[in-house]
Structure 1
Amino acid sequence: MTTSTPSFLVIGESVADIVRSPGRPDLPHPGGSPANVAYGLGRLGRPVALLTQLGDDEVGRLIAAHLRSAGVELPADGRTGVRTPTAIVTLDPDGRAGYAFDIHWSLRPVDPPAGADHVHLGSIAAVLPPGADAALGLLERLRPGASVSYDPNVRPALFGAPAAALARVERCVALSDLVKASDEDLAWLYPGWSEQRVAEHWLGLGPALVLITRGGRGAAAFTPRGTVEAAAEPTAVVDTVGAGDAFMSATLDALAGRGLLGPTGRPALAALTPADLTALLRYAGRAAAITVSRAGATPPTAAELLPG
């Protein structure tokens, strides 16, 4: 089995998360689900580029410096005059995050960057016009030569009418080899459906592997061969910002380490054994547990994920 290191391209939004909690001053953190995944991959030592939109403003410069500090490359779509998206993040007493967005996504069609063995698409960028069409068009062009992952990371306030949003989500699912979603995502997209039913439906659309995260209740992996579950790693929660994104980047890191990404890795994803899937869930779950133990979307480094 090959163990060559794939190059990652992440497509999607960057957002300045302004964390607001009672009795504390507002704290701006670089965020946005796709940006967090790219940053997490960079922190884990993976070569990664993020196709996003950042304004020439204070928070845009903050996010760009943050991403570059992890080695993330920032190709541009050539559009000028954009405003960096923001989100007011409010934390409840248990550290769970709620979001109020000010975001515009206007990605332009661009030539695909060379050398991407794996492409990850996330969240608002896949559903919010006018940029969603450019993002999906780019994904379709890259799909023949790269493996693909997708995280809907549903934001109801920005996804529009559920039926239209679901159609876009399922288009992305059908283009993907790996899909990760939370139990909350599924509840909004498919009211009344069980996780098993959703996973089987998505596997029927094309992916080889579906991962569902459940917050403090752990996560599950679904393949055509069966289902594996893993408990969450115990930790003291500071906040949950970026937990799912850390899970995603660690998942991609683990699969890359086993040579399971890139177009030649697709068949092996569906053939992962229960032991393989358990190890994957535990590795990604550890990344999420480390992230929720500190403020903001601060995923672990490779050294922090070493068995201790």
Structure 2
Amino acid sequence: MCIVYDIQNLVKTYPGQASPANKHITLQIQQGEIFGILGDNGAGKTTLVRQMVNLQASTAGRILLFGQDIRRNMFHVPLHVGYMPQQSQALNNLTVSEALFFTAHLRGMSRAQASKERDRLLQLWQIEDLRNAYSPRLSGGQKRLLRLAVTAAGSPKVLILDEPTNDLDPQRRNLVWNVLRQINEEYGTTIIFITHDAIEAEKIIQRVGIMSAGELVAVGRPSDLKRSIDRKMRLEIFFPPERPPHLPVHLSYHQSQPGRWLILLDREEALTTLDTLHIDHLDDFRLYSATLEDIYLHYVSQ
């Protein structure tokens, strides 16, 4: 199978910072993969993908795209990669229809082909009713869908998406994952995306890279990574923030928000832990097998 990205010993250090934003990252991404990059804010995810699309110079190491060093040809990345950053002002003076048409045309399509591509994308991303709307007047969620459609215009071989479901309601998030899966299956498109939401990512990814403090701490298929915690259960508890429960001393928790804890515990101690917590004093609780989010928390804590 063809290697799309071959990242070798990559380092990025910003001026005035003692600690590198990326620390000796080595990673290969195969053609046709759906690859997710997970990590909290500041983990180095966006710095990594900005280097992958040649918008950020690396301090050390190198990045090969389809076997070519991306620093040697400034047109190599845009020829093969559609990149969606978290924020973009590039479309502000265009209507939705114009943004899709001109992007497809600039990517090598004739005017007739670009018109067909525009209409296809309007339908695919369910934004047909916005075709004559100007980008600045769109809601946050509508802008997100437009940027996704623009990124996919002309069917580039690789899509790199930075937080593709930010600003979206649950229905539109579902649409995004379904469309990305469809693009991957129909065109063999390699899809690489950043997210901090492991629950969402689990719906689509085939392999995942987990980042923490600039390092790639784990890479693999979720099913393989889960083996490290396959005897664990995920306990999620909800309680009044001013009255936190008392955990057994050997257990630790991750607070995702005030009044909500995530706890990994051995299967054998699930029932005794619930008894200890006095579940009648909780607002709610959920107990189920480990998820991708738990894998992320496990590797980051290591």
TM-score by length of 1: 0.29
> Whose radius of gyration is greater, 1 or 2?
2
